[in-house]
Structure 1
Amino acid sequence: MIKKLNLMKHVANAAMLAVAYSAPTAAFAEVFPNKPIRMIVPASAGGAADTLARLLSKYMAESWKQPIVVENRAGASGIIGIEAGSKASPDGYTALMGYTFMVQAPALYSKLPYDVYRDLQPVMQVAKSPNLFAIPTSLKVKTFQEFVAKAKEAQGKYSFGSNGNGTSAHMQGTVISRRAGMELVHVPFKGSAPEIQALLGDQITSGIVDIGSAQPFVSSGALRVLAVTGDRRLKSLPDVPTFKELGFEGFESVGWFGVFLPANTPQDIVRKYVAELTRIMRIPEVASRIESLGMIPTSVGPDAFAKSMRADGDHWTRMAREGNIRLD
């Protein structure tokens, strides 16, 4: 019942946003689009960003009667794809499926080939994805406090995995290790899939992993979750405390995914995107599909999305500094 009520609330919020952005006036917006659109994903195929891009593109193509081609531009932690999206012609025919790394990168690199706040137009945040502090069930630990105690008894022998250097998981794992007085060894992987395999194979003693990737293994009992990021417990894991409940502030931010256009895209086209994406997010099957991936469907419009990005950027800058994490 609770899940159904939350889904209904999400659909209602999306409906309100659709009304606000459903009145483009310029003549060219009425004929847009009249040729194929590409949706750049700055990550490899099969991940959460790619799955979301393909889900949304399917419904957009059906409605707009034009192909939406998903183009995976992985590399350099996503910088290559983000740069391609930011430097595309601002005519609406190139969109970008972005995610949290976009606002983390400025704290990790001294120089980037774009300015995420200046060169991109936020259109809509479509999903959030909390991270989990997970361990293999072979490690006979039931709570985060027990894990900390064991790690302190064997300093330097316990580890935490992440889905790569400079990721949310890397920063969160480093900071929580320091604050809790542990000496966890960071083991970065090229994505969540190999990280989870390392957890399952007892190659690492813990891992910070996104819920979408970990959910099947948590459900099967192969992994145990000791804590979650975010400002509230997850409906799917009601007995697992947040880091804040455990006394660790600064772990309320969660991962997010959203659609962007190049800066200076005509506002009539931006409004057309917002109206269409809002319509799609109102479809119960779409919200259910996103939830089935372990994510939380959202419908955050341009202004609120831009504001939250700034706040997130400040947060991750503080985390990177506390963890002394740089990638150049």
Structure 2
Amino acid sequence: MTKILICLLIMFSFLGCHILNNDEKEAIEVCQKAKPEGLIFGISNSTWLDYANSIAKEDPNKKYVWQAKKSFDNKYFIVDFADSNGWGQHWEVDIEQKIVKNINQNEYLTRKYGYRRFDGNDEFEVINLKQNEMKTDFQNGYWNNENMPSIVYIIKGSVINKTNISITNATISGGLKLIFKEKTINGNANYESGFKSQITINNPWEPNTTREFFIKTRGIDKIYLGYIPEYVIFNVSLKATDPIGYSFYKDIVELDLKEKWKSFKLTSAPYSPNINTNENVTPIIEKNEDINKHEDSTINSEN
């Protein structure tokens, strides 16, 4: 009797693995046959398989592999076309509904499944923050209706060059993101943002020295204070090069601001189209706060 039970268990285990493997194969096939929104190479009937093949042709020496696995909530399959380091394209696939969503192009899915761009580095570091706040501001012009209150994020500090390289060209930028399941609202850095002094061949950024920077985002409409996004993120990106081929272009700061957003929402006046623009708008959160006080915040750049 015991031998029979063992045989049955082995048989059911084998069948379970076989079914799962078939589902994984189906998820990959559904993904490969799906057509992206928009055109690839100007061809309207291009599929994600066409796109993957084009990536593989760019570097024939790099090996990419198709793989599929169940999502952590067991609702979908995650299909990967990636190299040995996990870099590549990723999709969320519903094999029953034949719905395919590219994770790389979706801010919400990128964070839901842990494919975010930032994971720390040892080349550049943000230090000496003198200002780090979310506030309401009045902004005029192209980006906002005239004299309408909007939400901005301001950060001011320094970046230390921890490499042994003299940087001869560098720019810094940042942005506030309100990430909802179906939409992301971006407040990108405005024209005032950047390094305090320009970095050039005649004014290089030497190793183990710092450069001051200031970032202020363009305003996000106050109407969004009526909502709680899935994620609220502020990131700082650095692009740096030297004359002989060194290149760095990554996020060096990523702050999780969801709790700050909730606090700001509670302390800010409700949105009103008829607001008196002569009134002082005062809700300023955590002024001159140390960056390390943010939960899940990291101030190093990725490798």
Task: Give the greater-gyration-radius structure (CA).
Answer: 2
Structure having the larger proportion of residues in strand: 2
Structure having the larger proportion of residues in helix: 1
Same fold (TM over 0.5): no
Bin the TM-score by the shorter chain.
Answer: under 0.3
TM-score calculated relative to the size of structure 1: 0.20
TM-score calculated relative to the size of structure 2: 0.21
Task: Answer 1 or 2: higher relative contact order, Cα 8 Å, separation at least 6.
Answer: 1
